[in-house]
A and B are shown apart, each in its own frame.
Chain A
């Protein structure tokens, strides 16, 4: 674990109405690190990411980005302070073209974070380059997944929360997605990656947190996790 953690979360508790979903979740992501948040369906991965992003009505606990307290900020301020969010459901603006989707995500360049333009993103996602004027509603699942990541990158984030980018994609596309994330890591982007697919996460991540029933059960390096059959069988679907 690095001292200079970019994203730091402590004592995170989240509620849907009266249902208590997260219990004292704590995690850190260091600069340039890719950290996996692993767990089965319903473990609380998406809820964790949404809580950090300020998208839930009732959240308690501390959250900070590069030392800036995020806890009291509305989600647009959190995004403006340099945290990007890529939702699990993708949430592409279906009536907007690819270029317009990117435009919605655009924010001014930010010191200490990679700077993105549509052209740079099209180099990263060549498929998208060929469909600049196509409405988001007429794209395949894989293309939408690329667009949702590209859209978030247009905000020039310091760190991104990436929710199950491999979900529902064909194996070829999953591989392509893995290469893209590795590329982003080389660019120096900090990533918190929520995943069920251990083999997807394995190649990319430096460290992992394992979540179950809204609690962090285990934390370790990726290598340690791969060596520990007991934990993998207890908390993850293999």
Chain B
């Protein structure tokens, strides 16, 4: 092929690298100082584009095209920076000392709220911005036409990198930020007001993301999916570069953008998967990214952590009563309620399996949906392509999910904290991208339909009992495992890695096995889910599904075994009754997350249990 063509491709790669870098550098700076992985960074980017859309319209009419346009972009960026400041002041301040799970979830809550707000204000359609005055034409490079505006974008990356370098190396504020990135407590002990520093950092990060979104407007219409589409890639870039490292983010953005620019020529189906594959590879070789430094432990532990106790007599009686009620339920309620109830069992198992690795194992997974979806797809593919019946196909659910968890888990247990969470997210995105892009196998976006149970199980009530049996057995199995020596070993390891190593426990092996078990059980839930719905699509593997599982666990409370069951039930019933009533389900869910994280960090079950024990000890 023509070398000039490759050069043009390389230039396009540079332009998208600039865009990625602008987003990722703010993310990495915010993480470096506050230790918070900010999901809402994609929302900042999206807001930047929408603000720029509105502002360019107004200001170009008022001040003329050129001046109006080029003033509107920085103003949009400043406005986004101020939004970030508001988020810092009312939300982040309250959770700096919380567990990273709560921080991730809280910022995801903001994502959900912003999504609904944006749709409310700007509507669901794509909004095309104006072309950039002064850069509307093409330049000819080696006989190829290349848009002038892309050159502006190419320049933006290095310019911002240079400006940041000056800011961090030539100003007192920058010096303080760099110092705080390494040891914020010490910076505080030297008399620096961290809170104010953090607010400033959020402004800077928001400003940069807003600028990225605003600069993108002439190239890509503002649309309500920009946030989620970009955030996963921005995470990848920050993680590959080394979290907290701006130069690393620049290098990683270059690598990812060029790989995509050329990857699309060779193997177009791989573009979505590629960044996550690269990230997984880099983390295996350099667990802290290209230029990152090993983390000093940042984990804060969960609030209300306490030892696990076997069930008391009364609790055993309660469990027995609950089982009796569930067995008798179909005699009393109709088909719809049975369907709801069996879905609750499925979600309860899904949440319970997640809690098994989080609560006992101390591993926060942000990609548990991968195993739920692998189970679902495992079964559905056999039905769809081989025409197997349910009895055989459902066996593929735990096997596919278990093998996936075994493979991914091997990498995951080598990391901890935020890096672990990011890697689980990356693996889930790999599975999601595959399901989404491998259309011949998986049906792509539409998924697979017509996956129904065999004749004998197609009756609602029969399927109800089947689900109760299967999910109940899996939950009982995980419950036993939590109380077996295996579970105690896991918790010992979670509480002190050093001590567990010292007494000769091979902690990683235990964690790996736990991860695989949890994945297998999530797969069972996924398999039961497919046959209850009759279809499956990539949504079952996507980030929001992983977050749903986390919310269920959080609703119930992490440090209780019953928590996820309560959480799964509450979550699904909320979804069933509130989702049809409102156009703002996402904002509602986001608000629930924020309330949970701030007011009930121990979850409903944990909250109730604390109330009960307090009353008991008071009386």
Contacts and interface: CB of A to CB of B under 8 A. Distances in A.
Interface of A: 53, 55, 74-76, 79-80, 85, 87, 91, 93-96, 100-101, 103-105, 107, 151-152, 155
Interface stretch (B177-185, B337-345, B446-454): B177-185
Contacts of A94: 182
Given A93-B178, A93-B179, A96-B179, A104 B189 contact: no
Interface string B157-194: 00000000000000010011011011101111111111
A95 B182 CA distance: 8
B247 to A, nearest CB: 12
Given A93-B182, A94-B182, A53 B189 contact: yes
Contact of B175 (A75, A91, A96, A152): A96
6 contacts: A55-B189, A76-B190, A93-B186, A96-B179, A105-B190, A107-B191
Nearest to A17: B301
B185 A104 contact: no
B172 A103 contact: yes
Contacts of B189: 53, 55, 75-76, 79, 85, 87
B179 A76 contact: no
Most chain A Cβ neighbours within 10 Å, of B172, B190, B194: B190
Contacts of B178: 93, 95-96, 100
Contacts of B193: 76
Contacts of B182: 93-96
A123 B175 CA distance: 24
Contacts of B179: 93, 96, 100-101, 104
B190 A152 contact: yes
Interface in B171-223: 172, 175-176, 178-179, 181-183, 185-194
- Interface of B, secondary structure class, is helix
**A-B pairs with the 10 shortest C-beta distances?**
A79-B191, A91-B186, A76-B188, A93-B179, A104-B179, A80-B191, A105-B190, A75-B188, A85-B189, A75-B189
Contact of B185 (A55, A103, A155): A55
A103 B187 CA distance: 11
Given A76-B194, A103-B172, A103-B175, A91 B183 contact: yes
Contacts of B185: 55, 75
A151 B188 contact: no
Interface size class of B (residues with CB under 8 A): 10 to 19
B20 to A, nearest CB: 24
B501 to A, nearest CB: 21
Nearest to B187: A104
Contact of A100 (B175, B186, B188, B194): B175
A91 B189 CA distance: 11
Contacts of A96: 175, 178-179, 182
A100 B170 CA distance: 10
A104 B188 contact: no
A76 B188 CA distance: 5
B376 to A, nearest CB: 41
Contacts of B172: 103
A213 B422 CA distance: 42
A101 B175 CA distance: 8
Nearest to B182: A93
B569 to A, nearest CB: 33
A61 B435 CA distance: 60
A100 B189 CA distance: 16
Nearest to A91: B186
Contact of B190 (A95, A100, A104): A104
B489 to A, nearest CB: 21
A111 B187 CA distance: 23
A94 B183 CA distance: 10
A76 B175 contact: no
A173 B186 CA distance: 24
Given A76-B191, A104-B187, 13 more contacts: A55-B189, A75-B188, A76-B189, A76-B193, A79-B188, A91-B183, A93-B178, A94-B182, A96-B178, A96-B182, A103-B175, A104-B175, A155-B190
Contacts of A155: 190-191
Contacts of B181: 95
A104 B194 contact: no
Contacts of A79: 188-191
A173 B12 CA distance: 58
A151 B190 contact: yes
A189 to B, nearest CB: 16
A87 B186 contact: yes
Contacts of B183: 91, 93
Contacts of A93: 178-179, 182-183, 186
A148 to B, nearest CB: 9
Contact of B188 (A74, A107, A152): A74
A127 to B, nearest CB: 21
Contacts of A55: 185, 189
Residue in B175, B187, B194 with the greatest tally of chain A CB atoms within 10 Å: B175
Contacts of A91: 183, 186
